[in-house]
Amino acid sequence: MKYSRDKVAIIITNVDQTIIWVNEVFTQMTGYNFMEVRGKKPSILQGKNTEKAALNRIRKSLKEEKSFHDRITNYRKNGQEYTCALTIHPIFNTEGLLINYIAFEVDNNFSIPSEIPLMNITGKIQGESLSEDDDLNMFFRIVDYFRKEKPYLNPDLTQTEIANTLKTSPKTLSSIIRKHTNKNFSFFVNQFRVQEFQHILPSKRMSYLTLFAIAEHCGFKNKSTFHNVILNHTGYTPKKIAIQHKVAS
């Protein structure tokens, strides 16, 4: 069976196992978008028929800071059960300290997980050097940099600027983002701007601003682009999202 990255859901959590990033395949597979799972634990996917033995093995592996692979029954947002192959890897920094977890989940349309390279990384994965899959390591660094430093708040952010910061080439940066998200650099950046907009929208300190003024705080430069990006990423207009958050436009 031919392996395809576009069928692998990726979940990155912090050391407390709280979700800090998911890829688009995760949303396609589970029905949950990033904002619905941000700050929550992957256990949001579990339900009444999730195998207790598998959960116990996961807890044991996480406690021992070891990689884990098994099959488990999870639940989509609509309540539908699905069986998946699940691999979880602890991520260590160069000093050997645990800093994150990264999980790969494949729906049961794959019958032989051993044929999927991402499901079979061995040894300790370090945030600075992932010899088994260098491009995955770079993608992890890109996500971590965007999450911590928020470069997307700069409306004039360029691919070259990010590439120089991460000491890679714009071509490599673009290729890695497309490989792991199936989207281009612009879409990737706007994903973080949309998340920032949804995150700060309910803030009382922003309540006196118009929606576009809030958007400018998130890195949006053009009003029409802001409207189109929000609609494209969420399926709702900015005004509709504001109503959902009970914020006046």
Q: What is the pLDDT of residues 158-173, one digit of tens each?
A: 999 999 999 999 999 9
Please, is 201 exposed, middle or buried when counting C-beta atoms within 10 Å of its C-beta (0-12, 13-18, 19+)? buried
Taking a C-beta distance cutoff of 8 angstroms, is the pair 5, 99 a contact? no
Whole-prediction pTM: 0.61
Residue 64, helix vs strand vs coil: coil
Confidence at 195, pLDDT banded by 50, 70, 90: confident
Residue 116 lies in a domain: yes
Q: Where are any strands of DSSP class E within the chain?
A: 8-14, 19-22, 68-75, 81-92, 98-107, 125-126
- pLDDT(198) > 70: yes
Answer whether residue 224 is part of any domain: yes
Q: Are residue 60 and residue 114 in the same domain, yes or no?
A: yes
Average of per-residue pLDDT across 102-122 = 63
User: Please, which pLDDT band fits residue 125 given cuts at 50, 70 and 90?
Assistant: very low
User: Averaged over 46-65, what is the pLDDT?
Assistant: 90
Q: Are residues 150 and 119 in the same domain?
A: no
pLDDT digits (tens, 9 = 90+) for 79-95: 999 888 888 888 887 67
Residue 83 included in any domain? yes
Residue whose pair of structure tokens reads 């207009």 in the numeric block: 237
pLDDT of residue 247: 47
Domain count, the chain: 2
CATH number at residue 176: 1.10.10.60
**What is the average pLDDT value for the chain, to the nearest integer?**
82
Query: Which is it for the CA torsion 204, 208, 212, 218, positive or negative?
Result: negative
Average pLDDT for 124-130: 44
Which residue would you say has higher pLDDT here, 157 or 3?
157
Which candidate, 76, 87, 82, places its Cα nearest to that of 32? 76
Mean pLDDT, range 175-182, rounded to an integer: 82
| Residue 136 confidence (pLDDT) above 80 | no
**Full domain range(s) for residue 45:** 5-125
Does one domain contain both 106 and 73? yes
Any domain includes 131: no
Could you tell me if 94 and 184 lie in one domain? no
Enter the DSSP assignment of 4: -
Q: Are residues 93 and 165 in the same domain?
A: no
Cα 114 to Cα 89, 122, 199: the distances in Å are: 15, 12, 38
With a cut of 50, say whether residue 61 has pLDDT above it: yes
The last residue of a domain, from among 93, 125, 157:
125
